[in-house]
């Protein structure tokens, strides 16, 4: 161990070995994913330092866990035994904004919201907006292929990444992608690294697409007596060809938790509330969506009277996870099902909660069929843990049985690595292992994440 630390120091790095500092940097936001004991923390400030760290790691066969803001919910940034925790959050410069070509070149530690703030001076924005957009980094967003609340209309992170600079397991630096609107030269290596969770390389620079800021946005909230009615409203909205810019579902458990966290008059008696926004021809779009909600059984529909009220509703939705933390430890699930089976999936989650006697609240990017069943457990109580994990597994089984996926946007990490083989076929899994082996023959990049064994 001392030789590794000496080598890192000799490479011009400043490894931190203080046990308290290492412990603080050894976990992300994934509950119930126990960390290993890291050897050192390296705070990289440049691509050259990332490369130097990887060269030392390769020499010693030491595992490397890339980290940013550590806001992930699947354990991808969790420490493993003997690891170098390679923190790139300090690489936080916006290198350029190009309003003509509508792109930004950024380092991996730039916060998601900071890109939109800088682009806003040119009437542009970076569209993907995960709930953690004000605290999560673009490098982490790309590494996990993050989604967000506007994905129903604008798509997810990989659709906005044009080019990458990546440090490989050997320490070699590679650039892939382009700055042009079109480009199909060779394999799409950019997409390969999107969602790879730091297991194939470390992102040190990204070129991302920017989009014009919509001229205006209107928001409505529709209240439902049952979650199934809310699910049917979502299906009706999508089937009608509507294009809301946001279509979110908040169930009763979350409504109560959010109101307790920050009182704002949410309908805590409702089984579910749909939060809908439109930004193309918003008045006309919301009129049509309102009619569809009422036809699906909405008991009340109200529109935000101004931008401040609309932003308050949206901020409330972003606070859902933190509100649930007040009830206990949150075991976050992240399934996606075909939109046509959303109502069925909501019923299935309620059934799992009743069967196992646990509190489960559902927050959902409903327009994408992406549900976040948040399971409340109490780690000091073995029975609570067992029940929570049983409900977690049952929900994953349900998603796969519906033709869905075990993760819509949070990634596999450590939390779901044993489930990947249940979703993909054996040949698919073997190809993934061969790709990993080709790019990381020593198996030092974020080992134990995504692929089991």
Interatomic CA distance for residues 227 and 149, integer angstroms: 19
Beta-sheet strands, E only, within 173-322? 173-177, 202-209, 211-212, 218-224, 246-251, 272-278, 298-303
- Confidence at residue 452, expressed as pLDDT on a 0 to 100 scale: 82
3-state helix, strand, coil in the chain (%, to 5): 40, 20, 40
Please give the Cα distance from 348 to 87 (Å, whole number).
39
- Does the structure show a pLDDT above 90 at 306? no
Query: Can you read off the two tokens belonging to residue 32?
Result: 């119930």
Give me 329's structure tokens: 């430890």
Question: Once rounded to an integer, what is the mean pLDDT over residues 113-128?
Answer: 96
Residue 161, phi-psi category: left (phi > 0), alpha (psi -120 to 50), beta (remainder): beta
Mean pLDDT computed over 39-46:
98
CB 42 within 8 A of CB 87: yes
Task: State the pLDDT confidence band at 432, using cuts at 50, 70 and 90.
Answer: very high
pLDDT at position 32 over 70: yes
Average pLDDT, the chain: 95
Q: Which of 49-53, 125-129, 281-285 has the highest mean pLDDT?
A: 49-53
Mean pLDDT value of segment 248-277: 95
- Span 6-31, average pLDDT: 96
Integer Cα distance of 291 and 383 in angstroms? 46
Q: Tell me what the mean pLDDT of segment 343-347 comes to.
A: 94
Are residues 257 and 326 in contact, defined by beta-carbon separation less than 8 angstroms?
yes
Q: What is the average pLDDT across 325-335?
A: 95
Kindly state the average pLDDT of the residues 252-266: 93
> Looking at residues 371-384, what average pLDDT do you find?
96
Per-residue pLDDT band at 453 (split at 50, 70, 90): low
Sign of CA dihedral 45, 28, 324, 261: negative
Higher pLDDT, 210 or 132: 210
In the chain, what's the furthest Cα-to-Cα distance? 69
- Contacts of 279-282 with C-beta under 8 Å, sequence gap 24+, read 279/153, 279/214, 279/215, 279/216, 279/217, 279/218, 279/245, 280/214, 280/243, 280/245, 282/216, 282/217, 282/218
Q: What is the pLDDT of residues 188-198, one digit of tens each?
A: 999 999 999 99
**226 neighbors 136 (Cβ within 8 angstroms):** no
Higher pLDDT, 184 or 307: 184
So what's the pLDDT on residue 215? 83
Mean pLDDT of 338-342: 93
With beta carbons less than 8 A apart as the criterion, state whether 77 and 33 touch: no
């Amino acid at each position: 161990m001392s030789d590794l630390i000496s080598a890192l120091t000799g490479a011009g790095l400043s490894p931190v070995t203080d046990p308290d500092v290492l412990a603080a940097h050894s976990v992300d936001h994934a509950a119930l994913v126990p960390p290993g004991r890291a050897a050192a923390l390296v705070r990289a400030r440049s691509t050259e330092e990332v490369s130097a760290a990887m060269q030392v790691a390769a020499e010693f066969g030491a595992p490397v866990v890339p980290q940013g803001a550590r806001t992930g919910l699947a354990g991808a940034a969790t420490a493993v035994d003997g690891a170098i925790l390679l923190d790139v959050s300090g690489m936080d410069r916006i290198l350029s904004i190009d309003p003509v070509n509508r792109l930004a070149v950024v380092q991996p530690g730039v916060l998601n919201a900071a890109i939109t703030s800088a682009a806003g001076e040119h009437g542009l924005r970076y569209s993907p907006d995960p709930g953690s957009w004000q605290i999560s980094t673009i490098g982490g967003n790309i590494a996990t292929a993050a989604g967000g609340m506007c994905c129903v209309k604008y798509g997810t992170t990989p659709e906005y990444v044009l080019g990458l600079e990546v440090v490989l397991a050997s320490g070699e630096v590679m650039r892939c992608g382009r700055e042009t609107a079109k480009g199909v030269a060779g394999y799409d290596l950019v997409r390969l690294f999107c969602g790879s969770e730091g297991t194939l390389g470390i992102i040190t620079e990204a070129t991302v697409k920017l989009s014009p800021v919509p001229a205006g946005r209107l928001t409505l909230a529709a209240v439902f007596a049952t979650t199934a009615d809310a699910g049917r409203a979502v299906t009706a909205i999508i089937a009608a060809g509507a294009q809301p810019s946001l279509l979110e579902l908040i169930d009763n458990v979350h409504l109560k938790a959010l109101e307790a966290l920050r009182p704002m008059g949410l309908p805590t008696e409702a089984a579910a509330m749909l939060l809908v926004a439109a930004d193309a021809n918003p008045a006309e779009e919301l009129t049509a969506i309102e009619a569809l909600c009422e036809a699906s059984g909405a008991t009340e529909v109200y529109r935000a009277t101004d931008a401040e009220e609309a932003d308050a509703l949206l901020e409330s939705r972003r606070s859902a996870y933190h509100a649930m933390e007040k009830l206990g430890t949150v075991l976050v699930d992240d399934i996606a099902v075909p939109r046509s089976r959303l109502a069925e999936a909501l019923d299935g989650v309620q059934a799992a909660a009743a069967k196992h006697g646990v509190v489960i609240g559902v927050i959902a990017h409903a327009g994408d069929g992406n549900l976040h069943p948040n399971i409340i457990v109490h780690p000091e109580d073995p029975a609570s843990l067992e029940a929570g994990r049983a409900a977690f597994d049952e929900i994953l089984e349900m998603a796969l049985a519906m033709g869905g996926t075990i993760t819509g946007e949070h990634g596999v990490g450590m939390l779901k690595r044993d489930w990947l083989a249940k979703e993909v076929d054996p040949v698919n899994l073997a190809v993934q292992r061969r790709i990993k082996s080709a790019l990381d023959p020593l198996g030092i990049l974020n080992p134990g994440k995504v692929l089991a064994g």
